Amino acid sequence: MFHIVINRCENVKMQGVKVFADGESPNTDGIHVQYSSDVTILNSRIATGDDCISITQGTSNVWVEDILCGPGHGISVGSLGKTLEEEGVENVTVTSVILSSTTNGVRIKTWGRPSSAFARNIRFQHVVMSDVQNPIIIDQNYCPHNENCPGQDSGVEVSNITYEDIRGTSATRVALKFDCSTATPCTGIQLKNVNLTFKDKPAETLCVNANGTAEGQIQPSNCLGL
């Protein structure tokens, strides 16, 4: 499963961590954080077959900085909302990171089923993407193997999410994807100076039930509702 787990901890600092696993090795998250607060992860190199860093339920006040990630599934908040009664994630900053040839870049992932969980006050800034399949993604319809969740709406509230100074290349045409819940649309998304391209051409966006604002240069074009 995970290489390193921070579980039910307070005031944790990890620095200079190196994790290496084959890109095809399943469930090999580099650093997994849950039910913890005041966690700092600095200056680390992570290559795995799953998330480089995953931040999940019951976690608050996390600072992630100077991370090189790849291969892997990127840096993820979630998955959240697997159960009906679940704690959320809040006050997370991910800054000055490089993602290279990963499946996802910066991701928020929630199960497509009712839940009391939330993801709020999260900031992704100063991020460089290199050949990343889903550079910016919110997926609120996570339902592996289509078991126990098809046709349901995620109850996880996703709000106040900021993407600032995100640049680089997408390995797919859709570089920015906000696939949010019909029951609990994403609110307060802020895009600030985003520049992502696909094969040296303009990339595309997909927004479903996603509301927010944009300022500065935005490429691909902003599709957020107000």
Which amino acids are annotated catalytic? 73
In sequence order, the 6+-apart residues with CB closer than 8 A to the CB of 56 are 32, 33, 34, 77, 78, 79, 80, 89
Cβ–Cβ < 8 Å for 81, 155 = yes
CA dihedral 20, 21, 22, 28 (to 10 degrees): -140
Alpha-carbon gap, residue 154 to 193, rounded angstroms: 29
Complete DSSP assignment for 49-102: SS-SEEE-SSEEEEEEEEEEE-SSS-EEEEEE-SSSS---EEEEEEEEEEEES-
Sign of CA dihedral 118, 33, 62, 136: negative
Per DSSP, helices labelled H in the chain are none
Nearest alpha-carbon partner for 43 in 119, 98, 114, 86: 98
Partners of 210 in the β-ladder: 186
In sequence order, the 6+-apart residues with CB closer than 8 A to the CB of 151 are none
